[in-house]
Structure 1
Amino acid sequence: MVQSQPVQAFMTTPVQFVRPDTPLTEVIRTLNACHISGLAVCDHQDRLLGEIGAKDLMVRESGLEPGPYMVFLDSVIYLRNPLRWEREVHQALGETAGDVMNRSPHTCTPTLRLQGAAALLHDAGTERLFVVEKGELIGVFSRADLIRAMAAEAGAT
């Protein structure tokens, strides 16, 4: 049964990555050329710092909405979380991968079973899990990899 197999059996290697100082134009070219929706962002020791994907780039292209507000005694009071607003402004004005990246990438170990990986992908609402072993980025497991594993199981029956 494929569900009992580890992520390692279906993860993608090598991992495509960029550095924090990589210009967004290069990030976009890499995503397009590799036909992928996201990249790891690694430091110069190849440690995972974050991830950047199409979702992160959408803020830049779609513009900023101030969100709900109310006027009280000639003052405008925004009803949106100021930390979220600050992050979106930073993303919209950013020029490098480090400016725009998600600093909390989802990770897993290579021995995690596919069923657990599927649950993580679903529960976190993410497209991919970066596979890390002993602090080293060794692969990426995406929703597409999960479908490939499911297809392998369907073909085996």
Structure 2
Amino acid sequence: MVLQQTVGEVMSAPVLTVTPATPLKDAVTLLSDHHISGVPVVGDDGTLVGELTEQNLMVRESGVDAGPYVMLLDSVIYLRNPLNWDKQVHQVLGNTVADLMSRDSHSCAQSLPLPKAASMLHEKGTQRLIVVDEERRPVGMLTRGDVVRALASAQP
């Protein structure tokens, strides 16, 4: 039953991470190659220090809005010409992750009940929660798509 599941039972793991010193070019390649819209940023000790999202890439550096898009089960579908987005992203590729990352990331513990995590996703208006251990090291990701898939698998 979904109501009794925890984040740890539903999350995607292992999680990909970058550091503040990672070149943006490498981070963009990581996002693109793995079809993800965000990645946790970890310090030298492996603890969570922030998050880099596609929105960070578009708005904070270039001043360009990513434009209207739809998230469907963790896939990003842009409603404008993606070639324009690609050109705009290339304007910021000379920087590091530290230049654009958000220092306030949304995280939770593996033991959090799934209904509470779903509420957090909704209330914070985010697409993902970074799942961390007791030392705040990322161990997984929980996305809205993960929650929907858990609900679907629980249907008789």
TM-score by length of 2: 0.76
Corresponding residue for 1:110? 110
CA contact (8 A) 1:60 1:93 kept: no
Pick closer, same or farther for the CA change 1:64–1:2 going to 2, 3 Å. closer
Q: What is the DSSP-based 3-state SS (H/G/I as helix, E as strand, rest coil) of the residue aligned with 2:119?
A: helix
Corresponding residue for 1:54? 54
Residue 44 of structure 1 deviates from its aligned partner by 1.6
CA contact (8 A) 1:107 1:132 kept: yes
Partner deviation per Cα, 1:126-154 (whole Å, 9 max, x = no partner): 11111112113211111121111112112
Corresponding residue for 1:80? none
Residue 61 of structure 1 deviates from its aligned partner by 6.9
Of structures 1 and 2, the larger Rg is shown by 1
Q: What is the DSSP-based 3-state SS (H/G/I as helix, E as strand, rest coil) of the residue aligned with 1:120?
A: helix
Residue 3 of structure 1 deviates from its aligned partner by 2.1
Corresponding residue for 2:143? 142
Corresponding residue for 2:7? 7
Residue 95 of structure 1 deviates from its aligned partner by 1.2
Between Structure 1 and Structure 2, how many residues are aligned?
129
CA contact (8 A) 2:57 2:100 kept: yes
Pick closer, same or farther for the CA change 1:60–1:133 going to 2, 3 Å. closer
One-letter code of the match for 1:149? A
Residue 63 of structure 1 deviates from its aligned partner by 2.4
Q: How does 1:1-157 map onto structure 2 within 5 Å?
A: 1-60=1-60, 63=63, 95-135=95-135, 136-154=137-155, 157=156
Structure 1 Cα separation of the partners of residues 100 and 62 of structure 2 = 14
CA contact (8 A) 1:21 1:98 kept: yes
Structure 2 Cα separation of the partners of residues 93 and 139 of structure 1 = 27
Residue 94 of structure 1 deviates from its aligned partner by 7.8
One-letter code of the match for 1:59? V
Partner deviation per Cα, 1:84-109 (whole Å, 9 max, x = no partner): xxxxxxxx798111110110111111
Structure 2 Cα separation of the partners of residues 148 and 107 of structure 1 = 20
Corresponding residue for 2:87? none
Pick closer, same or farther for the CA change 1:93–1:16 going to 2, 3 Å. closer
Residue 60 of structure 1 deviates from its aligned partner by 5.0
